[in-house]
Structure 1
């Protein structure tokens, strides 16, 4: 039996999070379709510095721009070795937006963010609402604006998603969130 590489483990953990939290809890009603169609492209960054990540971001943005939307609708640029500190990650988002604009992709592609220590302004670090954007690894989500527009047309209450997500997580609570991912560990222990 082959042992999965670190990159394969990172992608597998991100897929589990996507399937169990983002899709399973319906935190993003648009994610299921692109996931089921295999239109999410996962890139695991080897970057060890912000400069290296910046270069990989440029490559990922250009890749998404040039990719056939029927094949690749969105990109998750997962960077497990850099920007583990949430405040540094949050500061980098401005550079990500500036990079998107400098490439002439503003209005075509936007960058969303997920992080293991994500924290909304005005919340405590352990506030359950932060878990709407908590992923296993720091992740830049590159989305086509045209896809967002189509999704919003299909889901007219898109502006209510954030509030519904917080309500969902408050009902679930931290024990419920932890149980989503403990199931695999418990199954391994039983076998």
Structure 2
């Protein structure tokens, strides 16, 4: 699967990522914990235009510091999208590993955890064209910084969190690629039919 590279100013890239969260993640209830944070406007959408990995990691660290310096009530979570780095999925996995190492080196393992999204996201052992991959496909390579304590508190009130991935895959199979594109038309620009 090929992905075309599109250049967006930071504000437009952040807006597109926010629209994807609202239309797909919240709109399809892929993450049942996201809707309250969207309503509270407690999610930050930032963008890195770094072309070099070391600069992208520094942008990640800056975002990590930003969320760490904010109260949870003001900023619950942050998504940083990379428009020029790690366009290829396997390069993105390398970036994700480096960001995880940087988080641990900063002594923040257990305070924050990372989730990942990518236009070419592919689960291990799953065919690249399988619809289940779309549960983690976003317009840009994106790292989601999550407050681990907040996630633990939310999960205590959700009876069967282990069923979320299976439910999401079933939803993807029901919607199909066309249904996803209908819900969020910009996806058509990023994925081959």
Q: Same fold (TM over 0.5)?
A: yes
Structure 1 residue aligned with 2:36 = 33
Moved over 4 A (4+): none
Q: Deviations over 1:53-111 (max 9, x none)?
A: 11111111111112111100101111111000001101222211111110010000011
Q: Kindly provide the CA deviation profile for residues 124-174 of structure 1, in whole angstroms up to 9, marking residues without a partner as x.
A: 211110000000011110000011111101212111111110011111111
Q: Is residue 64 of structure 1 aligned with residue 67 of structure 2?
A: yes
* Mapped partners of 1:156, 1:109: distance in 2: 23
Q: Name the SS for the 2:44 alignment partner.
A: strand
Please give the secondary structure, in 1, of the residue aligned with 2:184. Answer: helix
In structure 2, the residue matched to 1:129 is 132
1:123 CA displacement = 1.4
Q: State the alpha-carbon separation in 1 of the partners of residues 130 and 81 from structure 2.
A: 24
Pick the aligned partner of 1:103 from 106, 116, 133: 106
Please point out which of 46, 49, 63 is paired with 1:46: 49
Given the two structures, how large is their TM-score scaled by the length of structure 2?
Answer: 0.89
Match of 1:179 in 2: 182
Q: Scaled by the length of structure 1, what TM-score is found?
A: 0.90
1:163 alignment partner in structure 2: 166
**Which residue is equivalent to 1:189?**
none
Secondary structure in 2 matching 1:43: strand
> Of the two structures, which has the highest relative contact order with CA contacts closer than 8 Å and spacing of 6 or more?
2
Unaligned runs of 5+ in 2: 1-7, 189-193
Higher alpha-carbon Rg: 1
Whole-Å Cα distance in 2 between the matches of residues 18 and 142 of structure 1?
Answer: 14
8 Å contact kept, 2:18–2:45: no
In structure 2, distance between residues paired with 1:93 and 1:48: 15
Alignment: residue pair count: 180
Matched, 1:120 2:128: no
